[in-house]
Chain A
């Protein structure tokens, strides 16, 4: 039985590669798109940046706390308003969208830095103006990183004041390299990928839906070319045929996604973090995508119909997952967006890129696996229109 399963799976993979559908739609097209979109959106130096309100709670009476907030105001190109508020108001303000970034400089900040215990800031990032906030947080990270380095060199606190143009230089570097590595904590904070990385991740997630979709197309194709009848007459359990399609889709999906992520990260200089964490995320998102295809397999009557449905699913989930531009929403719509496996995948990669390990990606993993199970259940419930045709 396993031999039969593998015979069908291997033959399927070979056919998909031979007819070039997977190499083209699973790798070539997404790669070209990533490349083009990176040219268009990746050059943030030309992008108009939005106005940003920063809510700052300055609890530090030392000099370093002030330097941090000053450094933020020095960032060129961003129309910035800094409001001084008590620490307790920062979270409500950010959550209400009245501020896009909250900075709490703790009372012992200067003391800790000069004492060599490291620079600890509390940042809360809102859901809008992700790119601008990303630049600001990178600047803050650059500044605090310098503090830490300087403290280790036991330089006097007074000598640490950052020249005003220094902040600008860091910001410029950040903008040019797009390496918006997040040093931020809070709900969405560690889940942000840089623009280039987002595009790579989102496109990989989108085209994965096409790649796994070829399994369904193959199944409908077998029905149309008559081979399904012959397969059903073979001495094996009837479910094995569908299982082999799912397996070949899954394998092709995993391979194509890993290749895209690897090539994307090499070419655009982005990192998605620990390989094992990335692999787990890829396995989960491919499982979610594959199970979605079972619904199509039952609802579609012809390969053409399946192709259309597959494109709709892929584009909707891909766009909502940020394959073309970052999408954020709050309230019920935001929750719905959060349940999108492509979005969960991108978010998971964000966590992993920010240094998160297997333990930190449980939420996106659960969303993707939950989606896979839900799709399988739905596929059992919808009428099998294809078989009736």
Chain B
């Protein structure tokens, strides 16, 4: 677990920030995919961007990495202005794209060496770094196999390895655990934790709340191209205040129950997920009896009722009225 030793989260970011993103806007035709995104990452910090599909995470990353030109706004990496033609700031970044970006015909070692050379590494340094990274991503014993024979998780790990080969000042990981088995996922998270402990700055996007909570010093909650809230986990959860979550599992007329519960004064939000209703509730311990009653009257047969403290999902639900994942 990464602890927050280096940063007082209240302190405004200074000129030493590895990344300063200001008012990024990007449209695709009528659609405003990124709508005024601003944030900063301090050296050694792990910064999370938590948001659902289509929130604008990858579009923001593309502008930060200089792959896409923003319609307006700016990105500075260690004080240097980033853009598609900027070579200097690109050398400071290690990008791990959301989509796999490896050559299937090449072996793991060949992939690493190829991109390492493009990053300016060579000779003994390239060789030793390749071995180190293969070790970090746990692929030393498969270094010479063509990557098209790799499992999905192995490919993901190699995808990450290429991004850290040149010891970037800022490692950018765009949803690195999507479509990965639990074991590979855990090893990816451990690698990121280890890198953060060594002092590498990390920008990590995900739609898994647990990943953001586990890895990140600070988290931005994004939806519809905007940062809805930003802060440490504790700060974010404070937004929800005294709101708790009550989960109702059951059968019967769930839709009618949802409608009835929404009208209760203690209930802030109701979210229907198949046979489960998730309620954001004020004063859960006192409200729960009324809620169970109302659900029953509306025709829902309850199988299970659960009260929990709020987490980042509750925060997201509170801020957007939507679930983080569908």
Residues of A within 8 A of B (CB): 3-4, 7-8, 11, 15, 18-19, 225-227, 229-238
Contact = CB atoms under 8 A, between A and B. Distances in A.
Interface of B: 62, 65-67, 84-85, 87-88, 90-91, 93, 95, 97, 99-106, 114-115, 117-120, 122, 162
A18 B87 contact: no
> What is the interface of chain B mostly: helix, strand, loop, or mixed?
loop
A235 B104 contact: no
Nearest to B103: A227
CB-CB nearest 10 A-B residue pairs? A235-B91, A230-B101, A226-B101, A226-B99, A235-B90, A233-B95, A7-B117, A234-B118, A235-B87, A233-B65
B67 A229 contact: yes
B97 A237 contact: no
Q: Which residue among A7, A227, A230 has the maximum number of chain B CB atoms within 10 Å of its CB?
A: A230
B93 A233 contact: yes
Given A18-B105, A235-B91, A237-B85, A230 B117 contact: no
Contacts of B95: 229-230, 233
Contacts of B122: 3
A11 B116 CA distance: 13
A2 to B, nearest CB: 12
A232 B93 CA distance: 12
Given A230-B95, A233-B65, A7 B119 contact: no
Nearest to A235: B91
A235 B119 contact: yes
B66 A233 contact: yes
A234 B65 CA distance: 9
A229 B104 contact: no
B71 to A, nearest CB: 16
17 contacts: A3-B117, A11-B106, A15-B103, A15-B106, A229-B62, A229-B95, A232-B84, A233-B65, A233-B67, A233-B93, A234-B90, A234-B118, A235-B87, A235-B88, A235-B90, A235-B119, A238-B85
Given A7-B117, A18-B105, A230 B97 contact: yes
A17 to B, nearest CB: 11
Contacts of B120: 235
Contacts of B115: 230, 234
A15 B147 CA distance: 14
Given A7-B118, A15-B105, A229 B90 contact: no
Contacts of A231: 118
A229 B104 CA distance: 15
A15 B111 CA distance: 12
Contacts of A234: 90, 115, 118-119
Contacts of A233: 65-67, 90, 93, 95, 97
Contacts of B119: 234-235
B117 A225 contact: no
A85 to B, nearest CB: 67
B85 A229 contact: no
A19 to B, nearest CB: 6
Contacts of B103: 15, 225, 227
Given A4-B117, A232-B66, 20 more contacts: A3-B122, A11-B114, A15-B103, A15-B105, A15-B106, A225-B100, A225-B104, A226-B99, A226-B101, A227-B102, A229-B62, A229-B67, A229-B99, A230-B95, A233-B65, A234-B90, A234-B115, A235-B90, A236-B87, A237-B87
Nearest to A4: B118
B114 A226 contact: no
A7 B85 contact: no
Contacts of A230: 95, 97, 101, 115, 162
Contacts of A236: 87, 90, 118
Contacts of A4: 117-118
A236 B66 CA distance: 11
A8 B101 contact: no
A20 B115 CA distance: 23
Nearest to A241: B118
B87 A7 contact: no
Nearest to A6: B117
A235 B121 CA distance: 12
A226 B118 CA distance: 16
A226 B100 contact: yes
A5 to B, nearest CB: 10
A3 B122 CA distance: 10
A238 B84 CA distance: 7
A176 B91 CA distance: 66
A233 B91 CA distance: 8
Contacts of A226: 97, 99-102
B90 to A, nearest CB: 4
